[in-house]
């Protein structure tokens, strides 16, 4: 009952917001034309915020791209071996790759961290013990 009331109050609150706050939509694409959706584009106020792709058409999203307001990619999250689990996370700043994190042994935990400056790897960290924390560090 209380929960229902909260929902009603919340919807009343949102109804008073300007319409532009709701100018978000999802566009779907069927890239390989097999009748199944494999691309999702999230647009807010005319800007693409996020894209999700099912690159190998198995029904599972294997690439997610997050964008800055100016259209530059901000983050990439990838399932590089298409096993249904994300294993590569890349963070960009002003379109430049800053960190590249990998789950190389596919146990669900990041074990390699690359730190990049102007296109060059400046630091490499590895977790060799499997606890999810880096224990070897190389600087370049
Ligand atoms: Ca398709
Ligand atoms: Ca897939
Ligand atoms: Ca994977
Ligand atoms: Ca791992």
Per-residue pLDDT of 82-116, as tens digits, reads 999 999 999 999 999 999 999 999 999 999 999 99
For residue 54, report the distance from its CA to the centre of ligand 2, in Å: 4
Q: What pTM, to 2 d.p., does this model score?
A: 0.80
Gap between the terminal Cα atoms of the chain: 60
Asked if 137 contacts 124 with a C-beta cutoff of 8 angstroms, the reply is yes
For the chain, the domains span: 48-140
Closest CA to 45 of 17, 19, 23: 23
Ligand having the closest approach to the CA of 35: 1
Ligand 3 is an ion; residues with CB less than 5 A from it: 79, 81, 83, 85, 87
CB-count burial class (<10 Å; 0-12, 13-18, 19+) for 82: middle
Closest CA to 41 of 31, 89, 49: 49
pLDDT digits (tens, 9 = 90+) for 41-90: 999 988 999 999 999 999 999 999 999 999 999 999 999 999 999 999 99
């Amino acid at each position: 009952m209380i929960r229902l009331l909260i929902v009603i109050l919340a919807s009343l609150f949102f109804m008073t917001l300007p319409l532009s706050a709701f100018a978000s939509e999802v566009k779907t694409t069927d890239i390989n034309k097999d009748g199944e959706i494999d691309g999702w584009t999230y647009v807010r106020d005319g800007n693409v915020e996020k894209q999700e792709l099912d690159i190998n058409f198995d029904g599972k999203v294997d690439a997610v791209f997050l964008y800055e307001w100016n259209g530059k990619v901000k983050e990439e999250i990838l399932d590089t071996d298409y096993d249904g689990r994300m294993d590569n996370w890349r963070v960009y700043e002003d379109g430049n790759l800053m960190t590249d994190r990998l789950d190389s042994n596919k146990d669900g935990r990041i074990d390699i961290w690359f730190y990049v400056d102007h296109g060059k790897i400046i630091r490499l960290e590895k977790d060799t013990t499997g606890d999810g924390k880096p224990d070897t560090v190389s600087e370049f």
